[in-house]
Amino acid sequence: MAQLVKKIKLQIPAGKATPAPPVGTVLGPAGINLQEFCTKYNDATKDKMGDILPVEISIMDDRTFSFVIKTPPTPFLIKKIGKIKKGSTKGKSEVVGTLTRAQLKEIAEIKLPDLNCYTIEEAMKIVEGTAINMGVEIVD
């Protein structure tokens, strides 16, 4: 039975993993087949093209691997759904955009599996905190 040697976390655009840097630079020294990883990752994420997805790669001592794809980062979803170019450089004191409660709930529903909470209301509070710190105002 193969034993876990290393866990690596990366954020890779969906469907666009290549053996070139940054993927190759991080996974090359681990000794896994880069082309095999890229093919499997791209196949698993082709329906989410355009999103940046965190992936957790478990590498075994016999050079086999498995990976778990997480939900996109909260700031990425806030910018995408709120159609905001970038977050505020001054935090919550500078407003760069707005989100409605419905949009906030949509983001919370996407993020719920990866958040440390059980209800959609708790997830909405977590997402709202991130949005406010990015300079995004929540409107009803």
Residue 95's pLDDT band (cuts 50, 70, 90): confident
Cβ atoms of 33 and 19 within 8 Å: the answer is no
Q: Which helix (H) or strand (E) holds 11?
A: strand 4-13
Give domain 4-69's CATH number out of 3.30.1550.10, 3.40.50.880, 3.30.70.1150, 3.40.190.290: 3.30.1550.10
Q: Is the pLDDT of residue 103 over 90?
A: yes
**Phi, psi (deg, nearest 5) at residue 59:** -110, 130
Enter the pTM of the model: 0.81
Domain boundaries, the chain: 4-69, 74-139
Class of domain 74-139: mainly alpha
Least confident of 34-38, 86-90, 97-101: 86-90
CA distance 39 to 67: 12
Locus of tokens 């949509």: 106
Q: Is the pLDDT of residue 1 over 80?
A: no
